[in-house]
Amino acid sequence: MQNVMNLSFNALGENEAFARVAVASFAAKLNPTMDDLAELKTAVSEAVTNAIIHGYDSNPAGIVYITASIDDGEIDVVVRDEGKGIHNIDQAKEPLFTTKPEMERAGMGFTIMEHFTDLLEIESSTSSGTVVRFKKRLADKRVRCV
Amino acid sequence: MLTMTAETSGKILCVRLTGELDHYYSEQVKEFVESEMEANQTQHLIWNLEQLSFMDSSGLGVVLGRYRQVNEMGGSVTVCGLNTQVKRLFQLSGLFKIMYFEKTEQDALRRLEGSSCKMS
């Protein structure tokens, strides 16, 4: 059976740790490895940071929405903002590309999300904001002999 | 939560981070390290990340920013004590190619102090 949880919170940097720990706690019931859990937390952190500093330009009045669902050993995470959107998604995904070099952004957010998850989808519009969705298989991946 | 301390040995500054480094703490780390570097006229910077349990690309940005500063002064940056997750971030971003990596802070100090002895 599918198990779903929803979170929404203000676009404040201090909420980044809360968001990744909440999703990791939700995922813990799948008994993931420590490495998989660390990768999941990193992907959540990247997506939430993007929503805060790019989507909302660090305006704390913005709201970040997370929906996570677990089904058949896999977690599906959707991080959504109603901010200014991404002008060019292909460019944003290029390693080291950043629109905020003055903030010492590494430009590695989407590269890290792609490497640390099994599937990454980005939808964005300058009128409605950005939706980042990723999936990650977490349940025991070993073949069991019966 | 993130805490940071710094220790100097001649022109070498060692920064030790404990906890989680994300966007929220990155500006504090930048200001702390910059002020320590200025006060100590740092030439070589060591990041001891043994007690760092989590880092994201915001941390990479801070490390890369300080690398640029130190590099301009002809110095070097060494990173040590990486856990598996943090190590993968450094690998993905290519920072292994421009910085030194050591297992421990002592290893980093030994190499830097050895090379400065050779220079004098």
Provide the percentage of residues in chain B whose pLDDT is more than 90. 92
- Judge: B61–A105 Cβ closer than 8 Å, yes or no: yes
Give the ipTM of the model, two decimals please. Answer: 0.89
Phi-psi label, residue B79: left if phi above 0, alpha if psi -120 to 50, beta otherwise: beta
Question: Distance (Å) from the C-alpha of residue B65 to the closest C-alpha of chain A?
Answer: 6
Per residue in B79-94, pLDDT (tens digit) is 999 999 999 999 999 9
- Judge: B22–A16 Cβ closer than 8 Å, yes or no: yes
List % helix, strand, coil for chain A (3-state, nearest 5).
35, 30, 35
What's the topology of domain B2-112? Transcription Regulator spoIIAA (3.30.750)
In this prediction, residue A103 has a pLDDT band, given cuts at 50, 70 and 90, of confident
Domain positions in chain A: 3-137
* Rounded Cα distance, A72 and A78, in Å: 17
The pLDDT value recorded for residue A105 is 85
Tell whether the model's pLDDT for residue A3 goes beyond 70: yes
Whole-model pTM: value is 0.92
- Judge: B85–A42 Cβ closer than 8 Å, yes or no: yes
Q: Which CATH class is domain A3-137?
A: alpha beta
Question: Distance (Å) from the C-alpha of residue B41 to the closest C-alpha of chain A?
Answer: 22
Residues on chain B touching A41 (C-beta within 8 angstroms): 54
- Judge: B65–A95 Cβ closer than 8 Å, yes or no: no
Count of Cβ atoms closer than 10 Å to residue A113 Cβ: 25
Domain positions in chain B: 2-112
Q: Is B93 an interface residue toward A (CB < 8 Å)?
A: yes
Q: Is B120 an interface residue toward A (CB < 8 Å)?
A: no
Per residue in A60-89, pLDDT (tens digit) is 999 999 999 999 999 999 999 999 999 999
Question: Distance (Å) from the C-alpha of residue A31 to the closest C-alpha of chain B?
Answer: 18
Per residue in B16-48, pLDDT (tens digit) is 999 999 999 999 999 999 999 999 999 999 999
